[in-house]
Structures are given as C-alpha cells and as structure tokens.
Chains A and B, each alone.
Chain A
Amino acid sequence: MPIEIPKDKWPGSVRKVTLGATAAEGGTRAKTVTVGGQTTMPYLQFEAPTPNPPVVAIEIKSHKPEDWSPLLAETWGEAMKEPAQWAKKAEEAGADLLVLALTLEDTPESAVEAVKSVLAASGLPLIVWGPGQAEKDNELLVAVAEATKGERLALGICEDKNYRTIVATALANGHLVQARTPMDVNLSKQLNILITDMGLPADRILMDPTTGALGYGMEYGYSVMERLRMAALQGDAMTQLPMIVTPGFEAWKAKESKVGGGVPQAWGDWRARAIHWETITAIALIESGADIVVLRHPESVKRVKEAIGELMTA
C-alpha cells in the first residue's frame, strides 16, 4: 500500500519581486530577475513547485578593495580596478545579477559614473550598496537613484536608523530597496512596515535578515530565515518578502577564508577552505530560504549554482 505523505497546507505565499527593467519596461537591462512566489518551505516540490529559483549575485566594488582576501584579489586581478571590467568578469563567472558596493572614497559624481559604467558593461540587474555610513549612503544613493531612474535597481542598505532617504529616492525613481535588520523576526517585520508606510509597495522590498558566516553565528540567521518563511506562509503580510543574504561578505570576513598564515594545521589548505566556507555558508542559507545570495568567489558561484539546479530538480 502506498504511503500517505503528510503535506503542509499554507494559507500564505511569498511575494514575487522583480529586479531590473528592460528597455520595454523603462530601463536598459538585457533581462530581469524575479524571486519569491513560494507557497511551501524551501524546495518541498511534492507540495507545490518552487516558482522561482534562488539567484546568485556577485559583489563588486567601485574602487579596488584593499582589505579583501588576497585569494579574491588573485582571482579577479586587474578587473578589480575598473568596475565595468569587474562586472563583465562577474557576468562571465555566472552571476544572475550584480551588487556594486560604493566606497567612502566615492563622491556622488564618481558613484554615478561607476554605476553607469557597470550598467553599460553588463545587462544584468543591479543592486547598489552605499559604503555603510548613513550620511554618505544617502548622499551617494540619491545621486545614483536619480541618474538611473526606471532601472529597478535595488538600493541598500536600509536599516532602522537610516532608511527614509533611501526609500524616498527609490520611490521617486522606480527602484527597490534592501532592508536589513539584525537577525530578528520582529525587527524585520517592523522595518518592512516602516518602509511600506512611506508608500513603497511591498513588491519593491528585499528583506535582508542578516547572517553570520559558518562558525560565526550562521545558525542564528538560518533559524530566523526559517521562521520568517514560516510566518510568510502563515499569512503574515510583512514577512512575505524574498530574502537576500550576504554569505560572501560574511565568509570572507572570517579568518578561515581571509588569511592563509598563522592558522592551525588542522584547517587544511587555505584556498580550498575559503571556497568551502563561502559555499557551505551559502548552501545552508539557501536550504533555510534565501532567495538571493551575494557571493565573492567564482568557484563558490559555480558550486552554488550547480546546487540550485539540483534543488530545483524534483
């Protein structure tokens, strides 16, 4: 007698969010990326199909980062000096979309120039991050948002202390925002409420619950994401947003990836370890519901994309 498999029936679903706009939609992107739309916990396709696969973004910077691991510098080489070249290489490495992180050295003019050069070099949808200081973020992102009206960029990173200016300029210029809160279901909801209260439609918000790297608190982010997804499926509107996380940033900050010397012998080969660290952090987060993972190393991108392909195969 065939076994009767218990199936969960959920009243809610995750919203679909589309990044990027093609020429027909008022932008210049060669293609758009849509995430979200799930009606089940991650990849349980015996309950319902997963409508959109998770996607991989590669993080590049407007200026060559001096504090990145030498392994990354080695891989990207000269392209790191030129965001347009870097963007092309990232696209070749298999990115579904790009993250361009602006730096404290940027002025509004240089930021706009960097963003435009990336948009010209690659047809992928783009997420733009400020350097992470409230005033500077606002100054740069407003200039970028205005200069790229209609492109449906995602602008970030909105946090509870600094979201108004970024949301206002996203609203005025047809962009999306990335909303980050520190690993807490209620804080996520609260920020989403504040942002939608300003009039930005919920389908223009990517929820960033924050994560830690493998070994550095990853499990907190992991469980918060499972709980957020569950809340979304239960019908809690302010959690029904696709999730973006930054395993690349986190993993490459960890000593395991960042440095080769002065570490225990039991840590093994540096390069192989660094790739494992980034990949396994990303895989665990995808298993817990991530829709967009932002990575840094092409080999990790390859492995994660292969895994996504397999997860989508029932």
Chain B
Amino acid sequence: MALSGIQIYKLLPQTNCKECGFPTCLAFAMKLAAKQVELSACPYVSEESKKQLAESAAPPIRLVTLKAGTEVKAGNEVVMFRHEKTFYNKPGLFVRVKASDSNLAAKVAEIDKYSVNYVGMDLSVDGFAVEADSGDASAGSAQAFAAAVKAVRSATKRPLILIGDPATLPAGLEVCSGETPMLYAADGSNWEAMADLAAKHKAALAVKGESLDELADLTQKIQAKGVEDMVLDLGGKSMGDWLMRSTQVRRLALKSNFRPLGYPVIALPGKAGEPGKESVYAAQAIAKYAGFVVLDTFTPEMVYALLVLRENIYTDPQKPIQVQPGIYEINNPTADAPALVTTNFSITYFSVANEVEGSGLPAWLVVTDADGMSVLTAWAAGKFDAERIAKAVKEFDLASKINKKRIVLPGHVAVLSGELEEELAGWEIRVGPREAVDLPAFMKQALN
C-alpha cells in the first residue's frame, strides 16, 4: 500500500537541507507521495529508509507479464469495483491444448488466426496452454511434450502456459528459451522442484492451494527460492466459493497490503465440464478479478462473447469509447440520401452504422458531440439537445452535402423535434425509430 506523505516524512532525514529543491523535508515527502519526484533527489536518505520506501512503492497486486512474440500482462489493479477508478489489465484469454492431440499445430493455427471486430477493435485470444498429458514421467513423455510445445510454437507467436510436472516441464521449457512462459502448477507436493524450474528459466509460476492459508504459505516459501512472478489458482468447489476467494485475495492485497497473496489470479473454467457452463464460469472470472483465464473449449461464438465482456468490464468508466464527431458516409451516399443523427458514443455509433450498412441503403450519419454518451444517457445529461444537434448540422455543413434539408432524429429524443425546428429554420425534422435495428425498415418505408 502506498505510504502517505506523513509516513514518508518520518523516513526522511528531517533536516530541511533544501538540496532536493524543496523548502522542507515535509514538502518533499508530499511530492514523493504524489509520485511527482524521485527519492534519489534526497542525498541523505538512509539505506534502511530507501528499502522501506521501495517496498511501499511496489504495487499491491504484482504485475506479471508473459512474453513471447506478444505480451500478456496481469495484475497491478487498484480497485475492487470498476466505478471506483477502472480495471487496468484485461485478463489474458488462453486456450488449453493437449500434447497428445494429433492435430495440435493445425488446431492452434486456426485459433491463433481467429480475430473478431468489436466497435472498431480487432480482438483475439492471447495465448495457449499446452498440457503434458501422457501421464507417467518417463523420458518418452518429456520428449512428447517437447515435440508438442514445438508444434504449438510453430503455429503461434503468442505466450504459452506449460502444464505439467517437474519431470516433463524442462523439455518444454527448452523449446521456449528466451520467452517468459507460465508454469502450471506448484502445489504442496512439488513446489520446491517447480520453484527451481521457474527460477532457472525466469518463468512465471502458477501456485495451487486448497485454501488461502495454504496458498499464502506456498507463495512465501517459493518467493524465498527466488521466484517473484507468481499467479494464484484459487480452487473452489462452486461459483460462490470461487467468487469469495477471488474477492478475499483482492481485498487482502488492496486493503491489507498482504504480500503473500498480492498476485494475479488464474481461472480454469474448463473444470465446469461442459461448454455452456464453462462460458458462465469464464464470465464470472472476467468480471471478478481473474488475471488469466484458460478455456478448454474454443468456439468462435463463445470466445466472441467473452472477449466482448472483457472489453465492457475493462472499459474505463470515466472515458467512454468515443468516435470522432462529424459526418460519416455509409454506402456511398449521394445528395439524395437521408441524413441520420446520432451521438458519438462508440456503441451507439456502431449500432447505427452497422444496421444502415447491413441494409445496403446509402445514408449520411451525423455524429454529434455528446461527450461519448448514448442517446438516452446524453439526452438525460443535457449533452444531446436541440442546440448541440443544430450546432453539428451547421458546423459540419450538412446543407452542402444534401439536396433536401431534412434530418432524422433517434426516436428516443422525439421530444426535441419542436425545439430543433426553431434552431434549424427551414429544415424538416423527422423522428426515426427508437432502436437502430428498426432503421432499415424506417428508411425504406418512411423516407421515400
């Protein structure tokens, strides 16, 4: 937990020597607390104080980065609820594949190239978990695992999670040299060997425990062996159980600054046993604090839904995704095409644009600056009123683009039409449907 200015002040020499450039040690401490200066500006601070201050500056939930051709980051979160600030690092979505899969490389290649567009962003999975599943710890299984990791590596540049035991994992790790994979998982019986492996290969290490007490005990022992990047598998026998553990871990880190559990969490929703339930487990994990989610099932429709959920939950609540206000051309409109008005909230814009685009009908889309809010929200907040709409029509010079001076309002703000007629003298104000999905029918029937 970050120290307050007063707490930092107590660790400073308190001589007010001014060499740091501030009039007093207290002033310097305040700047330090606000992270506006570096401690190195103080020439007299003791080694002991330096150490304490460095520890307090560490984030309560460690940032763990997996690296290969791409990177996945988890941790560094600061709040329990997204409205309190925002959630920062989107949980990495991994797909588990098995070393014994005869079709491994092709399967991975197909999932690897999966990409889906959501409000202008291309979303995809973040990596793969390769499981050594040939059972015994014979030399043959290590070889098979190495071959499998090689096959996966030939099909994707994304980071890997290697699932196996201390006997098989080294063979897989050799294939990933120079990368930062995650090893899954250390538990009460194998933690020493797993910790040695993780330390040697600078890999992140997942740690599994039956209870939070056991987990905290393990992470401390593993850290003593030189492993810093850990990830927690919370277990839990039901969604309720998992939710509580995940909440407790986050709270312990954020509110109690409890270091032994200050790591990101990994969720394995595949344990649900069937895809319908797996997606529900994964949804809970995304909403409630997982840093990594490993799916057993890959279907485009399920991954699409989960990727969108992840975008939604991790959108900064203070900054709605906006599109640039302006006039957008859809399906190459001519001067006879209708002009439709909407707001610059990205989801609103894309809903409207997608519908019109899908219909094949040409239109001019007048996107007004509504501070990135949806039609109803912006209207309620006074950000989408007659004045703003009229301003957009004039500012973007809509009249120069179309023959007929006519605009179509979203049905939800029909109430604005009277006022708009006053603001835009000589313009015809039409009220369109409330929902974007009804626009094509409206354009065909009502606008001809």
Contacts and interface: CB of A to CB of B under 8 A. Distances in A.
Interface stretch (A96-104, A237-245, A278-286): A278-286
A272 B299 contact: yes
Interface string B236-251: 0111110110011001
B408 to A, nearest CB: 20
Interface stretch (A146-154, A167-175, A211-219): A211-219
B89 interface: no
B117 to A, nearest CB: 7
Contacts of A306: 277, 280
B100 interface: no
A186 to B, nearest CB: 10
Contacts of A283: 280, 283-284, 287
A277 B315 CA distance: 19
Contacts of B403: none
A3 B252 contact: yes
Contact of A226 (B81, B276, B309): B81
A264 B247 contact: no
Interface stretch (A41-49, A71-79, A82-90): A41-49
B317 interface: yes
Contact of B312 (A214, A299, A311, A313): A214
Contacts of B315: 219
A310 interface: yes
A89 B446 CA distance: 38
B283 A303 contact: no
B308 A215 contact: yes
Contacts of A273: 301, 304-305
A215 B312 CA distance: 7
Interface in B184-233: 212-213, 216
Interface stretch (B33-41, B131-139, B374-382, B392-400): B374-382
A182 B238 contact: no
Contact of B240 (A43, A183, A226, A280): A43
A253 B355 CA distance: 12
A29 B270 CA distance: 40
A215 B301 contact: no
B8 interface: no
Most central of A3, A43, A269, A313 by chain B CB within 10 Å = A3
A81 B61 CA distance: 55
B14 interface: no
A223 B82 contact: yes
Given A219-B82, A280-B309, A258 B437 contact: yes
Contacts of B299: 268-269, 272
Contact of B280 (A222, A230, A303): A303
Contacts of B305: 214, 256, 273, 276-277, 280
Interface string A262-277: 1011111110110111
Contacts of A216: 347, 351
Nearest to B118: A215
Given A280-B283, A307-B280, A46 B248 contact: yes
A220 B288 CA distance: 16
B300 A266 contact: yes
Contact of A182 (B256, B301, B317, B377): B377
A2 B213 CA distance: 6
A314 interface: yes
A9 interface: no
Contact of A276 (B237, B279, B287): B279
B243 A311 contact: yes
Interface in B72-127: 81-83, 114-119
Given A3-B213, A215-B312, A280 B288 contact: no
A279 to B, nearest CB: 6
Nearest to B301: A268
A134 to B, nearest CB: 12
B255 interface: yes
A24 interface: no
A307 B287 CA distance: 14
A137 to B, nearest CB: 16
B243 A284 contact: no
A227 to B, nearest CB: 6
A312 B240 CA distance: 6
Contacts of A276: 279, 301-302, 305
A217 B374 contact: yes
Contact of B301 (A183, A220, A272, A299): A272
Contacts of B283: 279-280, 283-284
A313 B240 contact: yes
Given A44-B244, A46-B244, A187-B380, A280 B279 contact: yes
Nearest to A229: B81
A311 B304 CA distance: 24
A187 B256 CA distance: 35
Given A217-B374, A223-B81, A184 B380 contact: yes
Nearest to A287: B287
Interface string B283-323: 11001100000000001111111101101110101000000
A219 B313 contact: yes
A314 B241 contact: yes
Contacts of B421: none
Interface in B55-84: 81-83
9 contacts: A6-B251, A183-B377, A215-B311, A226-B82, A267-B301, A273-B304, A283-B284, A311-B239, A311-B240
Interface of A: 2-6, 43-46, 182-184, 187, 212, 214-220, 222-223, 226-227, 230, 253, 255-256, 258, 262, 264-270, 272-273, 275-277, 279-280, 283-284, 287-288, 299, 303-304, 306-307, 310-314
Interface of B: 81-83, 114-119, 212-213, 216, 237-241, 243-244, 247-248, 251-252, 255-256, 258, 261, 276-277, 279-280, 283-284, 287-288, 299-306, 308-309, 311-313, 315, 317, 345, 347, 351, 354-355, 358, 374, 376-377, 380, 435, 437
Given A45-B244, A214-B305, A256-B305, 19 more contacts: A2-B213, A5-B248, A5-B251, A6-B252, A6-B256, A45-B240, A218-B312, A222-B313, A223-B81, A223-B82, A253-B437, A268-B300, A283-B283, A287-B284, A307-B280, A310-B238, A310-B239, A313-B240, A314-B240
